Structure 1
Amino acid sequence: MYGYVPFHYFNWRQSHSQGWTAAMVELNQQLRTLWEQHVFWTRLTINSIVDRLPDEQVTTARLLRNPKDFAALLEPLYGAAVASKFNQLFTEHLAIAAELVKALQAGNTAAAEDANKRWYANADALALFLSQINPYWSEQEWRRMFYEHLKLTAEEATTRLAGQYEQNVALSDPIEQQALVMADMMTHGIVRQFPALF
């Protein structure tokens, strides 16, 4: 059920890893860490919202640091304006996700549908933005990856809300795998765009 892994990006990573420079390895490790932190803190925030835990505020604050950490990595490569725009779009992605979970929790179908529509529109905006700043990042591929990310995250929220804990935990593996694929996609594009740096 949760077997989605686009192996062509893993294969790219494996086939090129022997020839990687130290700078390429460092970039990939940084991006993998950021994407894993993204899905890790998203999961914890969903749990805090659903279970009305007292750590919701501080957990959400830590999650919202993630776009800023991405922006800090991107700024030396793309400049402050691009980094700021990514921070804005990625923060919106997280804010809408929280809205969606709370709407689902409240049984507010109209609000949930509105949040979901805006969530996918934000994914479209992210995919377009990334394709515009790096010629080696495909808008279509990023859209497909973001849509799958949203689908998995929504399932993560709905299974938690339904108390389907085994299914909820099982989702962690494909969510993590996909996060690492997105990190490798980013690495691939950056290295190709800035070969002199790597």
Structure 2
Amino acid sequence: MTMKKNFDPQCITFSQMNMIFNARTYYRRLTTWSREYINSRYYGVNAAADLFSRLYFESLEIGNMLEIIFGREISEKYSQYLSQYAITLYNLISAQLDGDTEAVNRYVEQLYENVAQRAAFLETVNPFWDEFEYYNLLGTYTHYIIELANALAANDINRIMELYDLVKAHTNLMGDVFAQGLYDYITSGVQIDYGLENVECVTYDQINTIYEIRMFWFELVTWVRIYMLSIYLEIGDSEIILTRLRQVPVDYINVLRRILGDQISDDYIDLFNIYIDLIVAFIDAQIEGNIEEINRLTQLFYENEQERAAFLAAINPFWEERELRNRLRNLLHATIDESTTFLSGDYARNVDIFSRILAQAESMSNYLAQGLFNYINYIQEDSLDI
């Protein structure tokens, strides 16, 4: 009988936190590339082949995680199942576009067969992963992806946003179950003493707060891109999407206040509102070909970036202003390039740029998470010294 040693909810170490975050992020990235690929098929974006390659290789990433612990043979076997997921999704969309109902039903059935195969395989690999639990997790995820494809095909932006939130919550759960199983497997037979002194850790509630803050950058770049798609390719209602985009920094700042308190003033929200206004104005100027306005807005972008970096550095000693400024500058340049390639119709390069943006968002989120982890432990240690 296998005995689980669950993460101590009162003391999760930095390495455990990263394990959870990496697993959650994998499923979030997989969803992102699935959505991008589905969009490309339904709206005739010329980069469909490039996006399928991204989706295909993204789906294999979790197999690479398995190789470190379970070896190459198991990793390659699971990767075969994952590649079949991407191929079947490709075939399903093709059948939908062809109006072939019989083929659609067949490929939907194959997707769920793939779910069953993966769930059964995971249990044979790791006794801390349960086949029934994974069948439900993967099955629900597959259902959401199919529903997302239907919503994108219908250009139903309200349903798309609803599914976006459902998938976001579900991928967090999937990541937690995956990470917990890995942790149990790695530490099976090992006595974990959380009572040791000088072990830096945070509570499970705190890592969820850090994760929400961490994922802000994914949310921001995702909704900026969805807004660009609505303007350049007329996918969805741009006003509804812009309203959702404006809500992203509001949610982020409200969560940030759980850790940093009243240091997070409304001035920070104002800086993000300005940033979003600049994005909207910049896209309009690019479409109009107004070079003078583009140059003016670019300078305002730089000023806004510097103010946001200075604000964060002032409230947390574990965030450096120069580092933040460099990261924000790189993200800004990539976002401008993203808009430019949408305008020029260079979709292959646009996909490369978005991939770079996701990597930058992940790097930024890692940096902020490390700073928050250190800040929480610093505050806790400081309170004990009083």
TM-score (norm 2): 0.45
Query: How far did 1:164 drift?
Result: 0.4
CA distance in 1, matches of 2:326, 2:264: 22
CA distance in 1, matches of 2:348, 2:291: 25
Q: Deviations over 1:107-158 (max 9, x none)?
A: 0111111111101110010111111111111110000000000000000000
RMSD of aligned Cα (Å) = 2.3
Q: Paired residue for 1:181?
A: 363
Aligned with 2:346 (options 164, 171, 190): 164
Q: Paired residue for 1:120?
A: 302
Aligned with 2:289 (options 107, 119, 124): 107
CA distance in 1, matches of 2:361, 2:346: 23
C-alpha distance 83-70 of structure 1, shift in aligned 2 (>3 A): farther
SS at match of 1:194: helix
Query: How far did 1:80 drift?
Result: 4.1
Aligned length: 186
187-196 vs 115-124, which deviates more? 187-196
Counting aligned pairs with the same residue, the percent is 25
Is 1:142 the equivalent of 2:347?
no
CA distance in 2, matches of 1:117, 1:131: 22
| Aligned pairs for 1:18-57 within 5 A | 21=202, 22-23=204-205, 25-52=207-234, 55-57=237-239
CA distance in 2, matches of 1:148, 1:189: 20
Q: Deviations over 1:20-73 (max 9, x none)?
A: 543453234212332211110000111222235561100111111011011111
CA distance in 1, matches of 2:317, 2:217: 21
Query: How far did 1:178 drift?
Result: 0.9
C-alpha distance 20-168 of structure 1, shift in aligned 2 (>3 A): farther
CA distance in 2, matches of 1:147, 1:111: 19
CA distance in 1, matches of 2:270, 2:231: 22
CA distance in 2, matches of 1:62, 1:178: 22
Q: Which has the larger radius of gyration?
A: 2
Letter of the 2:233 counterpart: D
73-82 vs 126-135, which deviates more? 73-82
TM-score (norm 1): 0.84
Q: Paired residue for 2:250?
A: 68
Query: How far did 1:104 drift?
Result: 0.7
SS at match of 2:318: coil
CA distance in 1, matches of 2:213, 2:258: 14
CA distance in 2, matches of 1:59, 1:52: 11
Native 8 Å contact 2:318 2:374 kept in 1 = yes
SS at match of 1:140: helix
Q: Greater RCO between the two (CA within 8 Å, min separation 6)?
A: 1
Letter of the 2:218 counterpart: E
Give unpaired runs (5+ residues) of structure 1.
1-12
CA distance in 2, matches of 1:111, 1:75: 35
SS at match of 1:79: helix
CA distance in 2, matches of 1:175, 1:192: 26
Letter of the 1:117 counterpart: Q
